[in-house]
Chains A and B, each alone.
Chain A
Amino acid sequence: MKWLLMFTLLLSGCVQPRVLERQGIITAAGFDKEGKQYKGASVMLSFQTTGSSMSEVIEATDVTSKGVRQDLEAQTSHDLGSGQIRVAVYGKELAEKEGIYPLTDTLQRDANIGSLVYLAVGDPSAVDIIKSKKTEDTPDIGTYLYRLIEKNAKTESVLAATLHEFIAHYYDVGKDPTLPCLTLRDGKPIIQHVALFKGDRYVGRASLDESFYIKLLASGRNVGIKDVPLLVDDISPLIVKKRGKKVNIVLNEIRTKRNITLVQQKPTPRFQASIEIESEILETSTKLKPITKDNVHILERAIEKQMKKEVERVLHKLKSYKTDPIGFGQIYDHSVRKLQLTPKQWDKLYQDTQIDVDVNVSILRTGTID
């Protein structure tokens, strides 16, 4: 019996090994379209014995996206391994004209690639971002971009953009994906905007300020810091010395609750979106009187008013782009019985949709001073 066992184990032979150092491990990849040509670049780690490992960028151009992969393979003595890929960047032009779903589908299908890959849009070009040499303390651009997006998605106002979420929102009727939009400043990739998608196509971008509200409404997750400009007139009882028209208050969100409900289905959908923010004050642009129990509500109401205005502006902008990252359509679909919403139906309905916004801010703390 034992011998039979041993025999089989040997007989079945072994698997093609993929030894770590023989792999050209790709940590990030970028895709662009220039005219009719696809252009791809990937960052490949090459391990150095001296302890200062380097990353190398390889580039290729071809008529099809699959051809790019072949060309890349031809440029290295290692086997290109995509198992450690962290970030995939798509050029703005590519995203705008062709849509990125076919490319993300490749990532999704490949069992080597996990679902935690971050996707991003490169403005204007993805390859340039991949080729950037400024990576802070990380050894390669892939890790840098990964940490950059991860941090901003976790604590700041960028909506998370993993492969899983992109695909899920792409498939979801009545919800559109968003991706962080990377640009170069002094040769260093930074997140400056959030790219708005309609399906898998880039349709426009929102500033981080606007993205704060999109994220708030879409997920209700940690949205980070928000700078709210208030009219002086709204908080006049608190002002010590009037100077200028506006006062900027920087809030740090502590806990947020959001609730979107469909209140009316016909003739046009109508939503009630309520946001409750518990926050603390980090900064004020001018000196204010001590904020106490009696006058805090003045400040709160003023912030609410301003926020409501801003939310409505953002919602309007989204409508004009015909994109719905917040997922009103999804809520509509799942609130109405016996309805299989199609994207086309929702496109039509979305334009007539009315959204009532109700913001409720409470200031829990004001830092170490009143």
Chain B
Amino acid sequence: MWFTKKNRVDDVAKLLAHSPDFMCRRIRCQGKIVNVLFLSNLINHDHLQQNVLAFIHEQKHVSIDELARCLPIGAIRICETEKEMASAIRDGWAVISIEQEKRVLAVNIAEKVERSLEKAETESLVLGPKISFTESIDTNIRILRQNITDKHLVTEKVEIGERNKLEVRVVYIQDIADETNVQTVKQRLSELRIDEVIDSSVLAQLLDDHAYTIFPQYLLTELPDRLAYSLMKGRIGIFVDRSPTVIVCPTTFFSFFETTEDIYLRWTMSTILRAVRMLGIFASIFLSPLYVAVITYHYEVIPSALLLTIGESRSRVPFPPVIEALFLEFMIELLREAGARLPTKVGQTMGIVGGIVLGQAAVDAGFTSNVLIIIVALSALGSFTAPSYEMGATIRILRFPIILLAALWGLIGIFIGVSLLLIHLLKLTSLGRPYLSPVYPFRFADIKYSLIRLPIKFYGERPKTNRPKNSRRFSWREAMKRKDLDE
């Protein structure tokens, strides 16, 4: 195949869908004709001029081998077919071909558009590093490498997407992460047959063990420190190009309620905060169903001191308690959803105005009782304490079926809901690993990693839930060899 003929260039152009920004620069140099092909929108023009065109021009002897040896560019590649060339050009590379030579040289002079590093938005922390991942996988890997200097860090590259190719990196610490887990991830990625994947959250759903459940099975994080922490504890991360969130797997139910701040704060504080969070989640799921059950069926359990308050507030409401509760829950969801779709500043104002005005008006008009307003507001707050946005949304949805069960059969209905939930959670797995770990299968040593937090000296072992190959982190006892009192 000779590349001198005009129609060869046309072939490539055809493969590139006759893109108007496709350029072919011909240079005559040392009696040879050199073609430089590229998409002008994708490349860095300074780079092209100084390091490619000028360089070729100054060469005494022009051949592909010679150029491959001397070009002052990091990433180069030898291509042979038009297809390869076209795909390289599509990635923002420039292709250099020389008349009479079969092989061509592709050089990377791409310039990618990316935003600068910013503070984390969805997982905001008070303490600890603020930086968050961006949409560029190269930047993200760079951030990760700055976070983990361990020589065992592996970043394996996998390409997915049959039409719209996407670079995916599986990262883990080789001598910590469980091999079966790594194999499972790689196998699932390689078995994917899909035209394109838009974002890491989509990839996470594609890798799910259970497609029908409402629980998220993989943690998505935008915090490099959280990822680094997870990797060092034996988990696996999956970077996806063009996505600012990283998939962490395998994930357990309780890890959705952890934040890295739990580690940054002192142990007493974070144990209490974890308890508050758990209580908030619990209240968020069960408070309004309890209200519905008690008001509809079991007025006996209301303490006499509360009876009048509740009775008075209910007496004007014309609907049964279920309708009342569903109506108010719907209103809160509406406020939240509207707030999320609006620009930040407007959203905040609307939340406050909507919350106060609507709530007050609803009570005045006799649509709802003010006791229920308190309950619904509390449960909304509770659901926002979940550090993971996905889990928060899940919890908000979870209470609707339980409200219905409560309306059907009162307290027994709620407990039927609890049983169903429990059974469902027990059946779930994440990457083939039990979802409810460390509660079931019970791992006592791991409770300190999920439900409570102990003083740092108890963290000498990595959590068993992740099945780390090497579980030893440090030995407190060795570090603190008994000193005498006054030494």
Residues on A lying within 8 angstroms of B by beta carbon are: 2, 5, 9, 14-15, 17-21, 23, 25, 27, 45, 47-49, 51, 53, 81, 83-84, 86, 112, 114, 139, 143, 146
By the criterion CB–CB under 8 Å, are A143 and B304 in contact?
Answer: yes
**Within 8 Å CB of A25, what residues of B?**
299, 307, 311
Partner pick for A47 among B315, B410, B420, CB 8 A cutoff: B315
**Within 8 Å CB of A81, what residues of B?**
299
What are 8 A-B interface contacts by the 8 Å CB criterion?
A9-B408, A15-B297, A15-B410, A17-B296, A21-B314, A25-B311, A84-B300, A112-B300
By the criterion CB–CB under 8 Å, are A53 and B311 in contact?
Answer: yes
- Check: B321 CB closer than 8 A to any chain A CB: yes
By the criterion CB–CB under 8 Å, are A17 and B405 in contact?
Answer: no
Give the number of residue pairs across the A-B interface with Cβ within 8 Å.
Answer: 72
16 additional A-B pairs beyond A47-B315, A48-B312, A84-B304, beta carbons within 8 Å, are A2-B212, A5-B420, A9-B408, A14-B409, A17-B296, A17-B297, A18-B298, A20-B296, A21-B314, A23-B299, A49-B312, A49-B315, A49-B316, A51-B312, A81-B299, A114-B300
Residues A14 and B299 in contact in the complex (CB < 8 Å), given A47-B312, A53-B312: no
Residues A18 and B312 in contact in the complex (CB < 8 Å), given A9-B408, A143-B304: no
Which residues 280-309 of B sit at the A interface, judged by CB distance below 8 A? Answer: 294-300, 302, 304, 307-308
By the criterion CB–CB under 8 Å, are B308 and A15 in contact?
Answer: no
Residues A20 and B312 in contact in the complex (CB < 8 Å), given A15-B408, A45-B307: no
Which residues 167-217 of B sit at the A interface, judged by CB distance below 8 A? Answer: 212
By the criterion CB–CB under 8 Å, are B312 and A84 in contact?
Answer: no
By the criterion CB–CB under 8 Å, are A47 and B308 in contact?
Answer: yes
CA distance A122 to B116 in the complex (A): 83
- Check: B455 CB closer than 8 A to any chain A CB: no
Per-position 1/0 for B319-353, Cβ under 8 A of A? 01100000000000000000000000000000000
- Check: B78 CB closer than 8 A to any chain A CB: no
By the criterion CB–CB under 8 Å, are B299 and A53 in contact?
Answer: no
By the criterion CB–CB under 8 Å, are A47 and B409 in contact?
Answer: no
By the criterion CB–CB under 8 Å, are B296 and A18 in contact?
Answer: yes
Residues A20 and B300 in contact in the complex (CB < 8 Å), given A47-B314, A49-B315, A51-B312: no
By the criterion CB–CB under 8 Å, are A19 and B320 in contact?
Answer: yes
Whole-angstrom distance between the Cβ of B63 and the nearest chain A Cβ? 67
Residues on B lying within 8 angstroms of A by beta carbon are: 212, 294-300, 302, 304, 307-308, 310-312, 314-317, 320-321, 366, 405, 407-410, 420
Top 9 closest pairs, chain A to chain B, by CB: A83-B300, A47-B315, A47-B311, A14-B408, A49-B316, A21-B314, A20-B299, A17-B296, A20-B295
CA distance A23 to B408 in the complex (A): 19
Q: Which residue of B lies closest to A146 (CB)?
A: B304
By the criterion CB–CB under 8 Å, are B297 and A86 in contact?
Answer: no
CA distance A84 to B314 in the complex (A): 17
Q: Which residue of B lies closest to A55 (CB)?
A: B308
By the criterion CB–CB under 8 Å, are B297 and A18 in contact?
Answer: yes
Whole-angstrom distance between the Cβ of B185 and the nearest chain A Cβ? 28
By the criterion CB–CB under 8 Å, are B296 and A19 in contact?
Answer: yes
**Within 8 Å CB of A48, what residues of B?**
312, 315
The interface centre, meaning the residue of A49, A51, A86 with most chain B CB atoms within 10 A of its CB, is A49
Partner pick for A53 among B304, B308, B420, CB 8 A cutoff: B308
By the criterion CB–CB under 8 Å, are A17 and B320 in contact?
Answer: yes
**Within 8 Å CB of A146, what residues of B?**
304
Residues A21 and B304 in contact in the complex (CB < 8 Å), given A14-B409, A15-B408, A49-B316: no
Q: Which residue of B lies closest to A114 (CB)?
A: B300
CA distance A139 to B311 in the complex (A): 13
Partner pick for A84 among B299, B317, B366, B409, CB 8 A cutoff: B299
CA distance A19 to B322 in the complex (A): 11
Q: Which residue of B lies closest to A86 (CB)?
A: B304
By the criterion CB–CB under 8 Å, are A21 and B410 in contact?
Answer: no
Q: Which residue of A lies closest to B300 (CB)?
A: A83
Whole-angstrom distance between the Cβ of B309 and the nearest chain A Cβ? 9
